């Protein structure tokens, strides 16, 4: 394999701006994470989420959250997914999640970016800020060449993010993702390393100083 295609030996467990920190999952986050996700699911995350089981009891929700965190940590170790909690810099509280997933090394050097913000924290620009930091992590630390965002065409709030950040619109995948219990048409946005180099400084300064 070409040297530039190899995964880095070590990557940081966090990346931050003035307002937020993206940091690796921790097992002790299970309770806080499960409460935020449960409180945000109905009417907010549900229409844009893959098949999800919402547990009836707090103990079951906490156990499910632990399983999710353990699976994510395993994938971090093998370099296939890097998932972060989005936390507030000032307080450390978890406000959402973002992931660099389905990483392909070699001929593709690419990943997908997916994210959500908890209901109490929407409309403050946190998702946009987190996506910029995630792109910085993907290009500067993971040494990837391309990132993609796939967003359901009716998810208007989420569609504003790639538009604000100047990601390239590449087309629509008809019934491309199974979200909210149905196959949904999905807009595809992307950015390559060459484009990131050209706009990195401006994006960080404007959205994630």
Residue-wise pLDDT tens digits, 16-70: 999 999 999 999 999 999 999 999 999 899 999 998 877 778 888 889 999 999 9
Residue-wise pLDDT tens digits, 148-192: 999 999 999 999 999 999 999 999 999 999 999 999 999 999 999
Q: In this structure, what CATH number is given to the domain that contains residue 111?
A: 3.40.630.30
Strands across the sheet containing 82-88: 14-16, 20-24, 82-88, 94-104, 110-117, 146-152, 182-192, 168-179
pTM of this prediction? 0.95
For the chain, the domain total comes to 1
Q: How many CA atoms lie within 13 A of 32 on its CB side?
A: 14
Q: Report the C-alpha gap between 117 and 121 in whole angstroms.
A: 6
Q: Closest by alpha carbon to 133, among 169, 170, 165?
A: 165
Residue-wise pLDDT tens digits, 108-145: 999 999 999 999 999 999 999 999 999 999 999 999 99
pLDDT confidence of residue 40: 95
Q: Closest by alpha carbon to 93, among 118, 65, 76?
A: 118
Residue 64 gets which letter from DSSP?
Answer: H
Q: Which domain holds residue 123?
A: 3-207
């Amino acid at each position: 394999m070409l040297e530039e295609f190899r995964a880095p030996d070590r990557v940081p467990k966090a990346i931050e701006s003035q307002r937020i920190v993206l940091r690796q999952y921790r097992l002790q986050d299970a309770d806080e994470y499960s409460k935020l996700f449960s409180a945000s699911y109905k009417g907010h995350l549900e229409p844009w989420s893959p098949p999800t089981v919402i547990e009836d009891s707090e103990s079951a929700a906490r156990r499910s959250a632990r399983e999710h965190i353990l699976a994510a940590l395993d994938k971090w170790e093998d370099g296939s997914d890097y998932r972060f909690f989005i936390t507030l810099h000032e307080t450390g509280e978890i406000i959402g999640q973002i992931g660099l997933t389905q990483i392909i090394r070699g001929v593709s050097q690419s990943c997908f970016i997916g994210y959500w913000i908890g209901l109490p924290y929407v409309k403050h620009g946190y998702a946009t800020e987190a996506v910029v930091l995630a792109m910085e992590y993907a290009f500067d630390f993971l040494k990837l060449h391309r990132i993609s965002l796939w967003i359901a065409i009716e998810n208007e709030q989420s569609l504003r993010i790639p538009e604000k950040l100047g990601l390239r619109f590449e087309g629509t995948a008809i019934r491309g993702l199974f979200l909210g219990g149905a196959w949904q048409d999905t807009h595809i946005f992307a950015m390559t390393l060459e484009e990131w180099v050209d706009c990195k400084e401006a994006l960080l300064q404007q959205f994630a100083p």
